[in-house]
Structure 1
């Protein structure tokens, strides 16, 4: 027994060692086989992260795991990824590992997880999936494949398949594909049992036609691998909730594919039609009451090649159907659908669509439509008719449309249109045949994206060959009313060919409040804020002539507003815009452009007799230019030129503004109490009453740049005082101004006046006006005012004392001359004594004392000289 256990133990040990060691022994070999097998069959760049080998994962099978497998195209699709799989797995028997070189390794199963397939057709019709080696000699030299595809099962999980045709701009996306199949591929003829689910989206030129359509297919396929023929035997497909059954085959030939298929809806309930609509639009279909039928029948027969497509005839029909949702009060009745999509020749351009009838009723309102589309590839020709009445309020009562507020209004249509797309593209509107009218009355719409509920009282659109005419459009929102007439010149080019929408309109309004259109309600359900700049639509080329009795903008009431507006090339241009405001008139022209990343603006303003304090207080731009203007009582004539950048919400960025203002004040004066700056200035220059300053006919020039306003120096007059003003301030309200006052001495107080009165008229005439400087700094809200008044007054007093001392010396000299008989001239000794006294006598000494000192000293010197003699 011990010996037996030892033998068993040794066997187990050897087996365990083999399980562990085998992957390491064969990993390099398998890795080289994978690289060789792929590269010798495809003309593309193949890469993967690693290849692992496991005996335990699917024992007794061997599992080969390839991580991050990718196939990348070469020219003309260079660097485009054709295929990617996060994990690609092959399963095979362990014995396959021991086969020699040249013997193909038989694969029992394979799987792929989290993969992507991108199929592209370029403008030349070339496909990126055609990567097989083209050299026949090279293909013939391959005698044996490294791997034999004898699998019996395969599985694909979470695959995304993308198809894009550059010529037609058509995109088809199959997402979240889960597909598996079972069959014995060792046989040339077999049955393959498959199960598939996916979600479908189709768009053409970035316009979505199908989105998130759920697909599923359980099918038993007969496969003839020798003749490449695949036959539908038993199958059940669902398009959303619409069931489809297939019958027939698809065969791959040397020139393409051969189709012989029939399909139909196995049941004909109208619920099948509602099942075609994605649930996000149709709502839950449980307990929906329906009557009538809905059928889809089709035949596809013929070959698909470079020059042909299979002929087909697809019928979509319903007769006298109805539906009603359980929680809605209205039903849709008398539904008729009669439509066919046909191609009889196999030539793609011969495909045509006939919608012979589409009609329904809600209550007593009936709506019908019919159309045909022919010549779809070369020059689509469209013929359509619309006729009927739609009560918009009933739509939301019969169908689960998700709206914040229900629509109301009556739509009436009676329109016939016939046109071809080449005429639309070339602007040959004479080839378009339009007739009929569409009217809308009492239309109401409310949404969180709009500031106020929007109402169209009445609108009438007339269709004619040259244009679509808006004969009437009377609407209101909030406190605003508007009445518009005009025309659209190329509506079809805009609708079908992404052309610019052109139009000319006239608008009148009694009351137009900008806030009714511009202010949006805050969305309390979202914390996100948009940082993107507002953009003027690039698809508009519209001219509008507008008139309004009153326009309300912020807190401004503008009267008799009129002007021209052009929207083109992502810019709005204004011309001849006139309005009455602030007791005067404003003329405006300019432009706002959002074409560049940073929006720009240019503006020219003409102000005529505007009330200064009102306009410069209520208009933010003018207030920044002249913050002190709220203290000026009077009128203004001015021209203003501005340009600069705009913020994301299209308001001026003051730091970027440049331009100038040339203005003239009319009958204007100051009210200092309205300004902290003027109040501070008044307390420092008491010799001037600022309220009595004369501003009448004063002209000023201001220049703005880099956030600063530079003022050209100008001079004010106050009685016989001249005031020169110069300096600048910033849009941030900081300032640096210099005021120079040319002040007569008589305004400097009683001491100076008394001194002047004691001088001879000749000396008084020599006294010049005193220059006094005032420096204004800080900000308009917190000003700092400093003057050199004290120093200037001290200098003047010194000058006056010198003059007075000179006067007294002259008087003393004259008196001494009179005391000495015969003395006609004063001795030089006296003069020298006077000079000495002038130097020694303090300025502050009383004038009488100065006079006595002069006399005494002069006499002493005089008599000393005589005794010597």
Structure 2
């Protein structure tokens, strides 16, 4: 018996050793197989740390546990910069007996720990989660049921962030620190998913409107999943936001493109405290200490179909009865809070949504506020609103304390409005409203003096409901700061004629105001003295009856300085004086510094009243004279204050359509990109989103430059320009260093010394970096080269390496004219003649925007220049006289300028070429050979042009896609901001290893 027991124990021990050793003996084979399967099925980059892989039998025995560390999935283009999934650890639990004995293992647990899931859907519907390779469908008579059991005992999510960014719906949802547990029979088409847990709602936005931010959430629900109908139903589900709890019953279904929904909500914990938890300013670390009382009731429903043309009907009801809250350390409560709110839409058409706040009241300390609001729909805008109350600001800060700031004053509000808003019929609600602030006082700890004697008295009155009978009268406003006062008034009467009477008088120190009312990340200094009176009507402005307008006064600015993160260079106005008249604002003088650039200016701004008060589309007109002794454009085109900074960060400037602005510019020196312009002058005209440059003249690069042109952003995806240049005696070397077009289309310029002149017109697209898109350029003109020299040119070296005629490093050229044309980003040079080593030479060909060249160079060389090479060929040829014979050498030049491919046009080597040429000379076949060479070159050139044209089209498409990406980047930026908020919102610690899937 002992022997048998010993054998059993030994066998059991051996079995345990084998079970412990098998995972480690076969781990590499297992995960190599895993890599192979992932490569076959997943169209994305899957990564994990093999050093953090684990297989264990004993951890959750009788379950086999497999774990991965630092597991993630990163998308392929266009999602190469987006990580779909990243997990600190993932664990899978399998039934060990099903692994050993069954054909298909049974999954018992799934654990996702410490990570982030980022789901992204583009505007065209393409999604980064669509990562599985498509499989060919095979016709089978009957599908074989799967034996794989996915009845998971536990689905566990710990410390997981989730971002859903749907550009097609303009919808963003960001959740953080999600901790969830669930289970369900996932292999069936219909099953129940038990789900419980919670986390944080960082942001939930739809069409640019934030609906929820910084809320804690919990969920406890059983969801019935029907995959056949894509129907998800919940019964007695419980949700909470902060402490606001509610139940949910109903379903959401997506059987096709439409979304069907039938959901009802009801309040769970019916106390006033739960509603307060949704108020960001109140729900803080001290919320637990808040004293509250009062009752709340919440209910609602959403029912119908959502698609592009319809919206579900909905109703939400919120009732608060005698609410109260007070912080223990503060003397005053907010009490007697009552509200009865219904938001209703029975039609499913959002235009027929009604809002009925039939009752609203509360008391700040002993000061009551009472009001109501009704909006019948969003079609006729029929409304009825009332609000009345008086608020002591000092008492309010006893309820809602403001850090580092003291407030005083008495705010009184009495508003009664009823009627409909319809601009076509000239109807507006009848209104009788008064708002006043008396003895206002603001003091910040950042500045010793207060903003004192703040007084505002305003009223709005309309007894008939017609626009022409509305009066808005701010009869007085003003404040005092260290014995300096600002006072003013504003009267607007009759919205149809738009009569106005406005005045403002006094002095204001902006630096003091910025200290009392801090401006985030902004520097503001300076003093403004205003004495302005204006009265008249928009009707008189529209009919140009300026004699009916009374506008006078002046505005003086001194020692002004402004800077913020977008304009770190800063704008400083030492002194500026502006006079106001009925037709225009006259800038009589301005002495300023834009960044490091000094600027003096004067001019006028006209039609400003129509622009400010009139209907959309009114033009603001301006005429400005600007002078600078040294203006650095680079400082304003980059993110750097360094004057030598490169301009790789230039950004497209969108031009406004309703501004008609002329500006004359004079500058002793302008620095733009790597160009220095001296004695610059000209004018600019901005109108209808087109900026025109007219009559610009300057000296640069040792010569003079004059140009006219235009730039437009009417089509923001295809910003375009055109330019006509008149260049005289510009240095070739300097032009190569300064102009990207010269570097691209005339790379030989880097080896040319001397000057050139040209009259050249060209046009094309601009990239989002404000630089020309070379593949889009079209243009033509005449280039005149003065006496120049070519030194160390690889092209010339390629020719001399074949002919051995001349190995001089420098080649001097006499003045010549070159006719050129650019089509689809390809520079075509018409045939031109010059002297190459005193030999008559003819050159023609093209250079593509991608740097490829294709030229035919024909040189007539006296036969006797070839010496012994030619003598050996003609020996024995009776009657041969070479004294007046020339050899026409023809070269094909391809490749790129720096790596040219030079070859003889009609032979493999020079000796055979000379022999064929002499033979043709003797048989008078010279013309036929040249015609053949020209025809072969043209065929090659036509082929290259077609290839370059297609490449240019692809390049332009790429630029357009880049523009679309940059336009889309505003949305990316919004998501990045939310991600940054997510980082600040969480303080995540590594989650402990998961427990057993079935810890019974």
Relative distance call for 1:661 and 1:767 in structure 2 (3 A) is same
Relative distance call for 1:217 and 1:684 in structure 2 (3 A) is farther
Distance in 2 of aligned mates of 1:479 and 1:387: 33
Relative distance call for 1:242 and 1:553 in structure 2 (3 A) is farther
Q: CA deviation at 1:517?
A: 1.8
Q: 1:702 aligns with which of 802, 820, 842?
A: 820
Deviations 1:177-224, CA, capped at 9 Å, x for gaps? 974349xxxxxxxxxx58799xxxxxxxxxxxxxxxx99951599xxx
Matched, 1:441 2:558: yes
Deviations 1:694-729, CA, capped at 9 Å, x for gaps? 532311111111222111111222465211212222
User: Which residue of the partner structure matches residue 268 of structure 1?
Assistant: 392
The number of equivalent residue pairs is 603
CA contact (8 A) 1:418 1:433 kept: yes
Deviations 1:399-425, CA, capped at 9 Å, x for gaps? 1332x1421111111101113233344
Distance in 2 of aligned mates of 1:452 and 1:286: 32
CA contact (8 A) 1:752 1:797 kept: no
Relative distance call for 1:383 and 1:743 in structure 2 (3 A) is same
User: Which residue of the partner structure matches residue 200 of structure 2?
Assistant: none
User: Which residue of the partner structure matches residue 723 of structure 1?
Assistant: 841
Q: 1:627 aligns with which of 714, 730, 747?
A: 747
Q: Secondary structure at the match of 1:453?
A: strand
- TM-score normalised by length of structure 1: 0.60
Q: CA deviation at 1:366?
A: 1.5
User: Which residue of the partner structure matches residue 639 of structure 2?
Assistant: 520
Distance in 2 of aligned mates of 1:65 and 1:606: 76
Q: 1:732 aligns with which of 843, 850, 853?
A: 850
User: Which residue of the partner structure matches residue 155 of structure 1?
Assistant: 298
Matched, 1:593 2:719: no
Q: After the TM superposition, which residues 163-562 of structure 1 pair with which residues of structure 2 at under 5 Å, given as runs?
A: 179-181=317-319, 193=321, 218=338, 235-236=361-362, 244-246=368-370, 263-265=388-390, 267-269=391-393, 285-286=402-403, 288-297=405-414, 313-343=432-462, 349-376=468-495, 378-402=496-520, 404-426=521-543, 428-450=545-567, 452-497=569-614, 498=616, 499-521=618-640, 534-562=653-681
User: Which residue of the partner structure matches residue 804 of structure 2?
Assistant: 686
CA contact (8 A) 1:637 1:665 kept: yes
Q: CA deviation at 1:792?
A: 3.4
Distance in 2 of aligned mates of 1:577 and 1:617: 22
User: Which residue of the partner structure matches residue 690 of structure 2?
Assistant: 571
Distance in 1 of aligned mates of 2:758 and 2:500: 58
Distance in 2 of aligned mates of 1:741 and 1:52: 86
Q: 1:637 aligns with which of 757, 766, 769?
A: 757
Deviations 1:256-278, CA, capped at 9 Å, x for gaps? 9999978322x434565999xxx
Which has more radius of gyration?
Answer: 1
User: Which residue of the partner structure matches residue 808 of structure 1?
Assistant: none
Distance in 2 of aligned mates of 1:262 and 1:703: 73
Distance in 1 of aligned mates of 2:652 and 2:262: 40
Matched, 1:747 2:870: no
Distance in 1 of aligned mates of 2:420 and 2:841: 98
User: Which residue of the partner structure matches residue 895 of structure 2?
Assistant: 778
Distance in 2 of aligned mates of 1:462 and 1:481: 23
Distance in 2 of aligned mates of 1:531 and 1:612: 26
Relative distance call for 1:772 and 1:566 in structure 2 (3 A) is same
CA contact (8 A) 1:451 1:518 kept: no
Q: Specify which structure has the bigger relative contact order, considering alpha-carbon pairs within 8 angstroms and separated by 6 or more residues.
A: 2
Q: Secondary structure at the match of 1:537?
A: coil
Distance in 2 of aligned mates of 1:725 and 1:53: 81
Q: CA deviation at 1:662?
A: 0.7
Matched, 1:651 2:771: yes
CA contact (8 A) 1:379 1:420 kept: yes
For structure 1, the 5+ residue unaligned runs are 1-48, 58-62, 70-80, 92-112, 114-151, 160-175, 183-192, 198-213, 222-229, 523-528, 803-869
Deviations 1:554-578, CA, capped at 9 Å, x for gaps? 1111111111211111111111111
Distance in 1 of aligned mates of 2:753 and 2:426: 85
Q: Secondary structure at the match of 1:446?
A: strand
Q: Secondary structure at the match of 1:650?
A: coil
For structure 2, the 5+ residue unaligned runs are 1-229, 239-246, 254-258, 268-274, 276-294, 303-313, 326-333, 342-355, 642-647, 924-1000
Q: CA deviation at 1:598?
A: 0.6
CA contact (8 A) 1:65 1:88 kept: yes
User: Which residue of the partner structure matches residue 812 of structure 1?
Assistant: none
Q: CA deviation at 1:462?
A: 0.8
Deviations 1:406-458, CA, capped at 9 Å, x for gaps? 21111111101113233344555443321001111121111221262221222
Relative distance call for 1:670 and 1:243 in structure 2 (3 A) is farther
Relative distance call for 1:532 and 1:514 in structure 2 (3 A) is closer
User: Which residue of the partner structure matches residue 792 of structure 1?
Assistant: 913
Distance in 2 of aligned mates of 1:243 and 1:530: 56
Distance in 1 of aligned mates of 2:915 and 2:366: 105
Q: CA deviation at 1:635?
A: 1.8
Relative distance call for 1:354 and 1:763 in structure 2 (3 A) is closer
Distance in 2 of aligned mates of 1:215 and 1:742: 105
Distance in 2 of aligned mates of 1:249 and 1:775: 84
Q: After the TM superposition, which residues 14-29 of structure 1 pair with which residues of structure 2 at under 5 Å, given as runs?
A: none
CA contact (8 A) 2:834 2:841 kept: yes
CA contact (8 A) 1:179 1:194 kept: no
User: Which residue of the partner structure matches residue 164 of structure 1?
Assistant: none
Distance in 2 of aligned mates of 1:692 and 1:496: 70
Q: CA deviation at 1:155?
A: 3.1
Q: Secondary structure at the match of 1:452?
A: strand
Relative distance call for 1:684 and 1:400 in structure 2 (3 A) is same
CA contact (8 A) 1:355 1:370 kept: yes
Q: Secondary structure at the match of 2:795?
A: helix
Q: After the TM superposition, which residues 6-155 of structure 1 pair with which residues of structure 2 at under 5 Å, given as runs?
A: 87-88=263-264, 155=298
Q: CA deviation at 1:515?
A: 0.8
Q: CA deviation at 1:485?
A: 1.3
Aligned-residue Cα RMSD (Å) equals 4.9
CA contact (8 A) 1:451 1:515 kept: no
Q: Secondary structure at the match of 1:544?
A: strand
Distance in 1 of aligned mates of 2:649 and 2:767: 13
Distance in 2 of aligned mates of 1:639 and 1:249: 70
Distance in 2 of aligned mates of 1:258 and 1:658: 60
Q: CA deviation at 1:796?
A: 7.8
- TM-score normalised by length of structure 2: 0.53
Q: 2:729 aligns with which of 586, 594, 609?
A: 609
Q: CA deviation at 1:52?
A: 10
Q: Secondary structure at the match of 2:748?
A: helix
